[in-house]
Amino acid sequence: MANKLAILWALVVLAVGVHQVQFWRSASLDTDVLALLPEDEQAPEVDAATRKLADEAGRQVVLLVGARDWPSAQKAADEATRVLSEASDLLEPAVVDTSALEQAVDFYRPYRDRLLTPAQRQWLSRATPEELGGTALMKLYQPAGARLTDWNADPLGLWQDWWQARAAETSARPRDGRMWLSGEEREWVLLMWKSKVSAFALGDGSRVTATVERARSQVEAAVPGGRLVAAGVPLYAEAAAAQASWEMSTIGFGSLAAVLLLVWLTFRSLRPIVLVGVSLTLGCAVALSVTALVFDRVHLLTLVFGSSLVGVAEDYGFHYFAARQGKAPSERGPVMRALLPGMALALVTSVVAYLALGVAPFPGLRQMAVFSAAGLTAAFLTVVCWFPSLDTGALPVTSFAERFSASITRWPRIASTPAWWISGAVLTVLVAVGIWKLEPRDDLRQLQGAPANLIADQRELGRLLGLPSPAQFFLVQGDSDDQVLAREAALKTKLDALVSEKVFAGYRAVSDWLPSEAQQREDAALSARAEAQAVAAVSESTGEAPTRAEFSPDPLTLKHFLSGPAAAAIRQQWLGTLGQAQYSVLMLRGLNDPKVLPRLEEVAQGLEGVRWVDKTAEISGLLSRYRRIMGGLIVAGYVAVLLTLVARFGRQAWRAWIPSVLGTLLTLAIFGWVGAPLQLFTVLGLVLLLGMGVDYGIFLLEHPGDGSAWLAVALAGVSTLLSFGLLGLSATPALRSFGLAMLLGEVTIWLLTPCFRLPPGKDTH
């Protein structure tokens, strides 16, 4: 029977090998980080808007190059541009020069009469013929260089003010063919570059960051007092990738080396190391194939998370070799049969714990859950089916293993004595107070761990430029293009009141650049009437007969606008058709205080087709909701595990169950005592503890008084601690929260489990 299982598993492994060859030849790994985030199934248009804005922002690198005077700032900008241009395979300049402005002015010239600001609209509707005539006379004698067009085309100077309103979207202004601004005792040149690869696609190395740092060094070396301030999602993404890479190499390889050293000290043989390595390798290969078959694409971060199998999948091999030590090769079959019930029960609890991660609506977590569950199952089957056949040599008991196995007899055992009861009462009070002090905190901002220099540059750029944020915006819906633009206009009317109160700096909308056709007709009629009165007043005053210029008889359409040069700055905010409706995004500038967000949410109330979107708040709410769901799942999981243990161990099942319960409660209490927030990633760590921690009690109950079982538990605990617990040293807040929960829980459960072992002479069977 054993040989048949070994052959059957070999055929499965062969099929996996064939699939692996095909997979690596034809399939590419998914590197889009956004694919890991939850989708809003109730509002796919919100996801579409978020993705479009994020992809646009994910390619932009905004730089301000400054110096004490304008000539020095220009020289510094030249140096920075030269360095950035050398990375032409990685970066390309975005158009921010004055030629784009000239092209936009020419594009809009036939439609000048229907482009009015709200303030102009109010003034024209109430101004008297005398006021209009006086303004027109003043504009007539104004120097020609101060106007965008001749007097006949704009007798009231309306176009100049309209363009100034558009220019208010940024502090930068054209100067000597560059975009310039002044602030913080420096003259600045604005440079806009775009990464040729989205920042949300994980790459190899911090190439954009390295290029920007070379440009910074060159600016500081070439221009005394020169500065370069840079911000952009590519810089943040590369910093996060570099941090993750360093942590994976340091923590991952460090923990693997420590585990291998421990295995060598325990067994003093290469055979256990090689066979355990085979089980890990096959576990990862099967996990990858299963994941590729279940999901359309396998994400790169799934493989990164899958490296954590090193801390769990080798447990089955440890238990086998710990029990096999000191026994003749002929006893391999009986050893495996004796271990099989406990190992199968441990596998079930661990797989259930991993699959529980997939309950959350995060596609990334679901993929990681399937990968890990499949990998564990494959490692288990490798040990069960192949180890008895491949482990043919002798495996003597080492002095290290002998001493450690014997240490179980010196471990304190819980008993009904006053000292234990007092200790339990004190511990109960401490745990209760700690849990009472525990503070849930699901704000997404708490999970950000960006380098301080990037945050400083981002804040300085925000102060100088006032760039809009893609995290909060209004989504506007309509049955047609024109209805969307009209609803934008209604929304802007309400927002103008908040701008005047300085609640936020301003907004950027498609209708700023393209009014609805109805608005264009109204404005064209209003400006025609007002300018006719102004021209008549000028004619009466001067005795001349000037004529008003003619404009396009047709309105400016969306199709024509989007194909023109003026649409470049706003095109990403027009989402177009999604389903049966049209959508656009209105973005906000100067949102520096989160306290104003509720007032903005109120603006959307009562406006048909307008929805306020705060992705930070939505994801924070999602984290909170699933933290509670996963918390309830832990409680249900512990009940289910207890029932499973009772079916196997009867009245003694509590001995394997209670250490994990205490480990979870103590971990939560410690978080409460030290003021660490309770987050979803903390709870996810506790979910894994439920599956892994119970394993230790299972093996000690399965083999009471057997020192080899305690040795295997110790090896499993240390390897899990090294693989997961060291994530508590991570600079990434989410991984650190997860790692600290695993670290505290693992240590607690490992220390407590031997205290609940069976008294001498008792048996669970």
Q: What is the pLDDT of residues 447-483, one digit of tens each?
A: 666 677 877 787 777 777 777 777 788 999 999 999 9
User: Which residue spans within 296-426 are E strands per DSSP?
Assistant: none
Band of residue 662 on the pLDDT scale cut at 50, 70, 90: very high
Residues 538 and 130: their CA atoms lie apart, in Å, by 10
pLDDT confidence of residue 763: 57
In a domain, 526, yes or no: no
| Measured distance CA(337)–CA(316) in Å, rounded | 13
Angle separating helix axes 707-724 and 315-324, nearest 10 degrees? 150
pLDDT, mean of residues 148-157: 78
Query: Rounded distance, CA 737 to CA 759, Å?
Result: 37
Does position 37 have pLDDT exceeding 70, yes or no? no
Q: Is the dihedral of CA 481, 482, 486, 489 positive or negative?
A: positive
Whether residue 296 is predicted with pLDDT greater than 80 in this model: the reply is no
Residue of 458, 490, 461 whose CA lies nearest to 474:
490
- Give the CA count within 13 Å in the CB-facing half-sphere of 302: 33
Residue 6 lies in a domain: yes
Domain identity same for 619 and 758 = yes
What's the pLDDT band for 762 if we cut at 50, 70, 90? low
* Residue 670 maps to a domain: yes
Is there a domain that residue 332 lies in? yes
Residues 322 and 371 grouped into a single domain:
yes
**pLDDT, position 248:** 60
Confidence check: pLDDT of 698 > 60: yes
State the DSSP string of 29-50. -B-BGGGGSPP-TT-HHHHHHH
Band of residue 715 on the pLDDT scale cut at 50, 70, 90: confident
Q: Which residues contact 177 (CB under 8 A, 6 or more apart)?
A: 97, 98, 99
pLDDT band at 165 (very low <50, low <70, confident <90, very high): confident
Q: Is residue 282 part of a domain?
A: yes
Same domain, 317 and 365: yes
**Under 8 Å between Cβ of 276 and 380:** no
Cβ distance 748 to 667 under 8 Å? yes
Shared domain for 639 and 711, answered yes or no, is yes
Q: Mean pLDDT across the stretch 551-578?
A: 86
Is residue 160 domain-resident? no
CATH number at residue 765: 1.20.1640.10
* Per-residue confidence (pLDDT) for residue 418, from 0 to 100: 87
Contacts of 483 (CB under 8 A, 6+ apart): 516, 582, 609
| Structural domain contains residue 140 | no
Q: Is the per-residue pLDDT at 172 higher than 90?
A: no
End-to-end CA distance of the chain: 26
575 in helix, strand or coil? strand
Q: Does residue 422 share a domain with residue 384?
A: no
Model confidence at 673: pLDDT above 90: yes
- 202 pLDDT higher than 60: no
Same domain, 387 and 435: no
Q: pLDDT exceeding 90 applies to what percent of the chain?
A: 20
Strands 186-195 and 91-93: antiparallel
Q: Write down the pLDDT at residue 714.
A: 84
Assess whether 682 and 750 both reside in one domain.
Answer: yes
On whether the CB atoms of residues 363 and 702 are closer than 8 A, the answer is no
* pLDDT given at position 726: 72
CA 10-12-16 angle, 5° bins: 115
Q: Domains in the chain: how many in total?
A: 2
Does any domain span residue 4? yes
Which letter does DSSP use for residue 193 in this model?
E
Of 142-156, 277-291, 377-391, 638-652, the one with minimum mean pLDDT is 142-156
Domain of 725, in residue numbers = 417-458+615-765
For the segment 678-685, the average pLDDT, to the nearest whole number, is 84
CA-nearest of 622, 625, 602 to 612 is: 602
Q: Are residues 294 and 348 in the same domain?
A: yes
Residue 33: what pLDDT?
55
pLDDT band at 524 (very low <50, low <70, confident <90, very high): very high
pLDDT at 608: 93
748 and 622 in one domain?
Answer: yes
Q: What is the pLDDT of residue 509?
A: 92
DSSP for residue 596:
G
Number of helices and strands in the chain (H, E): 28, 11
Residues 661-690 as b or e (16 or more Cβ within 10 Å = b): bbbbbbbbbbbbeeebbbbbbbbbbbbbbb
The dihedral through the CA atoms of 211, 217, 223, 229 has a sign that is positive
Statement to judge: residues 619 and 762 lie in one domain: yes
Q: What distances in angstroms separate CA 458 from CA 238, 461, 465, one per listed residue?
A: 15, 5, 10
| Residue 469 token pair | 């944020």
- Tell me, yes or no, whether 374 and 449 share the same domain: no
435 or 296, greater pLDDT: 435
Q: What percent of the chain has pLDDT over 70?
A: 87
Q: Is the dihedral of CA 397, 402, 404, 409 positive or negative?
A: positive
Nearest CA-CA partner of 343 in 323, 363, 371 = 323
Residues 752 and 630 in one domain: yes
- pLDDT score, position 703: 82
The per-residue pLDDT for range 312-333, each reduced to its tens digit, is 777 888 889 998 888 888 888 8
Residue 272 to residue 319: CA distance in whole angstroms = 11
Distance CA 385, CA 377 (A): 12
What is the pLDDT confidence band of residue 667, given thresholds at 50, 70 and 90? very high
What does the pLDDT look like over 86-113, one tens digit per residue? 888 888 887 555 566 778 888 988 998 8
Residue type, 49: A
With DSSP H G I counted as helix, E B as strand and the rest as coil, what are the percentages for the chain, rounded to 5?
A: 70, 10, 20
| Amino acid letter for position 532 | A
Q: Give the model's confidence band at 354: pLDDT under 50 very low, under 70 low, under 90 confident, else very high.
A: confident
Beta strands at 173-175 and 472-478: parallel, antiparallel or unpaired: unpaired
Mean pLDDT value across residues 379-402: 89
What is the per-residue pLDDT across 599-632, written as a single tens digit (0 to 9) for each? 998 998 889 999 998 877 877 887 788 888 888 8
Name the residue among 646, 641, 671, 647 with its Cα closest to residue 742: 671
Question: How high is the mean pLDDT of the chain?
Answer: 82
**Cα-flanking dihedrals φ and ψ of residue 30, to 5°?**
-75, 125
